[in-house]
Each structure stands twice: as structure tokens, then as C-alpha cells.
Amino acid sequence: MKTNYDVAIIGGGIIGCSIGYYLAKEQLNVAIFEEKQLAGKSTSAAAGMLGAHSECKDLEIFYPFARKSQLDYFQLQDELKELSGIDIELRKGGIFQLAYSETEKLELNSTLSLPTVKWYDKEDVQHVEAFVSMNILGAAFIKDDVNVLPKSVCQAFAKSAQVFGASVFEYTPVLSIQKQDNSYMIGTNKGNFQAKYVVVANGVWSTTFFHQLGLTNTLIPVKGECVSVSSEKPLLKHTLFHEHCYIVPRNNGRLVVGASMVEGDWNEQVSLGGIESLIAKAKTMLPSITDMKIESFWAGLRPQPFDQRPFIGHHPDDECILFATGHYRNGILLAPATGQMIRDFIMKKEIRKDWVEAFKINRQER
């Protein structure tokens, strides 16, 4: 078994597999280590919204980063399918970000100022989505805030990385990282591996490695619960979004309703209260959802940093240790841009200085 690599990536979710893909594409010798199965945990729990507009209030730094990542998906859908044979199920149609009052419409002003966003009055929304709530004032229509199937994207990144020569080790938890001359010894349950660079990308569990590597950074788990429902006839063509809750239509006709936000909860099991709150919220957006049948429900843990911006960059004292974690609600959206940014750090390519500063590991809480 091969044990010597250019880059060892800890975490086989969508962030780790994106990084693996972009590095392997540059002909670097890459290994991805995942404690369980690829695309498990937070990746498989996500609804897959690419909400560069609907999730973003910072239009100067975060929005350009998120928007770049969102647009990359339109190229990736063909690129990854050709390499891996996996369809990431990029569903077009966009999002209606609902407003129920003039106050909520005013809160959408910054979003509506963008050239890719258009205001729809109530009647216009109902012309497109006949079953939407009668109580809305209108909605911001964001045509490019589409969605993908997260598990498929992650698996497509991983398989495509393997086409370029990457190694993937499932059921291989990383237990330790130790400096050894000009490289690192990665201790796992399957023995030791060696790598010049190490990238920590295992979501909320990255806190362990922050502390092991002498840093005080801490990620807070925010549990998100989702439920999938179905009916004999489709009720929705576009995603509905309001106050961080969404109803996302899938290509198979199902609707995904999400997501609760329970801060500080490490329990990955779904609670009855969480599902009740999701259904109650969904009814305010799409009343007829009450008649649909529950297919499944699940939960995942979002990794929340102190300022809700991800950590992407070098260890402040060691350029060969990098972190790509803390993506909070936007791991699926930001996966391509994060993978490219880590690639550019390792390949010594130019990166926007404001992104480096905004996402650096040792930024201070204000």
C-alpha cells in the first residue's frame, strides 16, 4: 500500500473531495482520509442549495467568493460527469425569496440591487407557483440560486480525483499529525502515512486538529434537521426560501424541507420538535404541503465559526498545514471556490488579498 503523498486531506465530505479534485487535476499526489464513508455527515444532510444571493449579506467580500463558486457549478456539471459518470443533478429554476410585509421587502433591498435578481409581486409569483401562500407580498426571484444533489457532487469530485490519480481511504480516521523533518506523519487506524502538506477539512470535527496543532480556534455545532416529502403530482417548480428555511424541489418530484438550527447540539438524531417546526414553517410558504407524504428525515451538524465565515488558509506558523473548514450553512455552495483556493495556496498561485484576509485562520473576533 502506498504511504507517501504530496498532500494528505483529512475529511471526505464535499470540501475535502473538492480540494482533492483540484489538487489531483494539477498532478499532485493526493490522499483523502475519511473516518466513515465519503459524502456522509454534513454533506449528505444538506439540501444542496447554491444560495450565493439568498444566503449572503456581505456584498463586498463573501458574495464575490460565493458567486464565483456558484458559477463554477455550471461548468462542473459536465466536467465531473465526463470524468466520473455521475450526474450532480444541477436543477435550474432558481429561488423565490419570499416577503410577507413591506419591512421584509425593504430587507431584500441589497439583494434586489444585484443585476441577477428581480422583484415579483404576489400575483406574478402565484402565476408561476400556483400553490404558494396567499399571505405573501411578493418575492425576490433569484434565477441563479439553483440546487444540486450534495452526495452526488461529493462522490463525483472523489471519483474524478481518482481518475487523476488520487487515493481515497474510507473508514480511516486520522488520529495524529506529527512533524517529521520536511514532511508530516499522519497516524491512522491503518498505519502511518507521510505527506508534505496536510489539509484539515473535516467540518465541525476540525476543532480537534486546531487544538492538536496549537491553535485555539473552535467550531460550534449547529444541528440542522430536514424532511423529504412527496405527492402524486408536483406542487413546486422553484425553491421557496424565507428566514433561512427552504422548500427545495428535486428532479424525482420530492420536496426537501429544511432546516432547523439547534446551536451547540452534537446529537445527530432528528427530534420530533425539530420536524414539527419545519412542517409548521413549510405550511406558511406552501400550505398544500400538509397533504404530502413524509418519505424520510435526517440531521447534520453545521460547523459554525465565531463570525460565520469559513477558515481557509495556512496555519499561521506553518505554510504546510492548511485548513478548509467552518463553512457553516454554505459548504455545498462554497466547495468549488474553497477547493481552488487551497490549490492556489499550495501551488503558490495568486489569490485575492481580501479573501486571504477574510478567511485567514488567525483573524480576530471584533
For 115-167, the DSSP string reads TTEEEEEHHHHHHH-TTS-TT--EEEEETT--B--HHHHHHHHHHHHHHTT-E
Global pTM value: 0.96
d(CA 287, CA 283): 4
Residue 87 DSSP class: -
d(CA 267, CA 221): 9
For residue 298, give the nearest of 269, 278, 331 by alpha carbon: 269
For β-strands 167-169 and 255-258, DSSP reports them as unpaired
d(CA 275, CA 273): 6
Residue pLDDT tens, the chain, 366 long: 799 999 999 999 999 999 999 999 999 999 999 999 999 999 999 999 999 998 777 889 999 999 999 999 999 999 999 999 999 999 988 999 999 999 999 999 999 999 999 999 999 999 999 999 999 999 999 999 999 999 999 999 999 999 999 999 999 999 999 999 899 999 999 999 999 999 999 999 999 999 999 999 999 999 999 999 998 888 899 999 999 899 999 888 899 999 999 999 999 999 999 999 999 999 999 999 999 999 999 999 999 999 999 999 999 999 999 999 999 999 999 999 999 999 999 999 999 999 999 999 999 876
For residue 76, give the nearest of 86, 62, 65 by alpha carbon: 86
Which domains does the chain carry? 4-86+149-217+307-359 (3.50.50.60), 95-146+220-304 (3.30.9.10)
Which amino acid, residue 172? T
